[in-house]
Amino acid sequence: MHELPQQLANGLALGALYGLIAIGYTMVYGIVQLINFAHGEIFMIGGFGALTAYTALPTGTSLLIAIPVMIVGGALASVAVATAAERFAYRPLRSAPRLAPLITAIGLSIALQQLVWQFYPDAKKAVSFPEFKGEAFKITDSLSIQRADLFVLILAPLCMLALGIFVQKSRSGRAMQATAQDPDTAKLMGINTDRIIVMAFAIGAAFAAVAAVAYGLDKGQINFEMGFILGLKAFTAAVLGGIGNIYGAMVGGVVLGLAEALSIAYIEDIPGMSQLGGGAWSNVWAFVLLIVVLLVRPQGLLGERVADRA
Amino acid sequence: MTALLEVKDLKVAYGKIEAVKGISFEVNEGEIVCLVGTNGAGKTTTLRTLSGLLKPVGGTVTFDGKPLAQVPAHKIVSLGLAHSPEGRHIFPRLTIAENLQLGAFLRTDKEGIEKDVERAYEMFPILGERRKQAAGTLSGGEQQMLAMGRALMSRPKLLMLDEPSMGLSPLMMQKIMATIAELKATGTTILLVEQNAQAALSLADQAHVMEIGKIVLSGSGQELLHNEDVRKAYLGED
């Protein structure tokens, strides 16, 4: 039960999930300095969009065909809601004091939960999601990886790689970096910063939809509240890695996921701490880790000290 | 002949506080026009309004025959108006080469852009030596060179330079001023805001002295350079 490789694999899969969601927090923060607390709900909406797409498929469709359809359906839903939120909730508050959009985000988060609860068929309790069934992949006697975990372990690095190339190499990516570093000057270069901001929200939402599909395939169900704690964890991951830094989001996610998995497995073995281990305490240890990192390295693991503005 | 830039009764306000209280001036092709004045006179506000970062509350701006008032900031540069902002505002975490490339963001002629990047390196050799370096690591003077080079990358009809000598060593200041003189010699039209009035006025064809949001004195650079009030107020003579 406590074999280290297995715990590391579990932690990595959990961390990849956190990282995918954390991208959304970090990209939006990097460009408009807004903590989009509704991002957890964008993730949740991605899950329901994916489920809707799945329901529209003929019964008996193989999961290998269904999964891409679900990702597209989920991303369409989450991107639509995220960009609408940007346009109608956040953009009018762009020059308001920081607190105003933050409160808006919290309100939006509650509103989105309630809308799904009220209007999505049977969503007042957990609804079942196609589960990625089948044998786990046995790598050694003591290490096997669930299919759903494998899905996120493959997709998360691919998404990350694609995003890295986009930001570093493409014209829009360069414009995104410029907007993050100095929005007014970016405008002077001819960059339509409003479009770049929408793009940041959209990319974050699409990544959250991928995460939601991974989450649903793993748990076999989704619910209207699932964005709350996962959003909080992913936000923690983004801060842990250094908010504003896209690689930091992934690193923070992985560190957080590993810490959780290891705390579940090993804390109770420490003499005198047998009461503080197991799954019930994993959230506590996750946030303890956050506090420690913030004390020792407030800018996060990969964050930069902001001192380079003239 | 009509002017390249025509500013008429321009008014700009921050909330209820009027920072520019109705100024008018023109910039003709090939000229250097200089705005001098103390801090808070409204010079930077004027430039930021011309490039669309601030919206005027009154007056008109005509550039190259087109009204500018309703044009959003990101479309101004495509009309041929480039702005090197006060405080340089280079993109610190991008390289020098990337900063220059961004200056040509809306251009699509790859070869022409490459050529202009090389030209910027010729104009400022230090930038060429450090092209792969993050711009935030440059000294103040080097950052100023980069900001000017970046603004030129759009091949502007009018280059606006806001306080290019601010915070620079006397030697670096001389170098920047010499570059502006060179640009003028090649026919670049420049709207220059400077606190270093001596250097700026000796370069300027036309100059305007601003005080608390108004133009209080106008004339050729030489006229103002020898004007007694100007000498007292800005050139440190008793």
Tokens found for residue B90: 């280079």
Between CA B31 and CA B79 the distance in angstroms is 18
Instruction: Please report how the helices B110-123 and B140-152 are oriented relative to each other, as an axis angle in degrees rounded to 10.
Output: 150
User: Which parts of A120-222 fold into alpha helices (H)?
Assistant: 147-169, 171-181, 183-188, 193-219
* Contact indicator for A130, A54 with CB cutoff of 8 Å: yes
Residue type for position A123:
A
* Contact indicator for B32, B75 with CB cutoff of 8 Å: no
Residue B120 lies in a domain: no
Half-sphere exposure of A294 (CA within 13 A, CB side): 11
HEC readout, A31-84: HHCCCCCCHHHHHHHHHHHHHHHHHHCCCCCCHHHHHHHHHHHHHHHHHHHHHH
Q: Which of B91, B99, B106 to mutate to test the interface with A (most CBs of A within 10 A)?
A: B91
The per-residue pLDDT for B18 is 93
The per-residue pLDDT for B162 is 96
Chain B interface with A: residues with Cβ < 8 Å: 51-53, 72-78, 82-83, 85, 87-94, 98, 101-103, 105-106, 136, 140, 143, 150, 154
Between CA A7 and CA A259 the distance in angstroms is 10
The per-residue pLDDT for A309 is 34
How does pLDDT run across B7-52, given as a tens digit for each residue?
Answer: 999 999 998 999 999 999 999 999 999 999 888 899 999 999 999 9
At A121, phi and psi to the nearest 5?
-55, 130
Residue B84 lies in a domain: yes
Asked if residue B116 has pLDDT above 90, the reply is yes
Chain pair A-B, CB pairs under 8 angstroms: 72
Element (H, E) at B19: strand B17-27
* Contact indicator for A260, A43 with CB cutoff of 8 Å: no
Q: Which residues of B touch A185 (CB under 8 A)?
A: 85, 89, 91
Asked if residue B1 has pLDDT above 70, the reply is no
- How far off is chain B from A206, nearest CA to CA, in Å? 26
Give the CATH number, domain containing residue B228.
Answer: 3.40.50.300
Residue B198 lies in a domain: yes
The per-residue pLDDT for A134 is 77
Q: How many residues does chain A have?
A: 310
Q: Which CATH architecture has domain A4-128+145-296?
A: Orthogonal Bundle (1.10)
HEC readout, A106-120: HHHHHHHHHHHHHHC
Q: Which of A178, A188, A304 sits opposite B94 (nearest CB)?
A: A178
The answer to whether the CB atoms of A174 and B53 lie below 8 A apart is no
How does pLDDT run across A132-188, given as a tens digit for each residue?
Answer: 877 788 888 888 888 889 999 999 999 999 999 999 999 999 999 999 999 999 999
Residue B129 lies in a domain: no
User: Which parts of chain B fold into alpha helices (H)?
Assistant: 43-50, 73-76, 96-103, 110-123, 125-129, 140-152, 170-185, 197-203, 221-225, 228-234
Residue B130 lies in a domain: no
Low-confidence ranges of chain A (pLDDT < 50): 306-310
pTM for the full model?
A: 0.92
- The number of folded domains in chain B is 1
In Å, how far are A160, B86, B97, B205 from B26, measured between CA atoms?
A: 51, 21, 34, 11
The per-residue pLDDT for A310 is 30
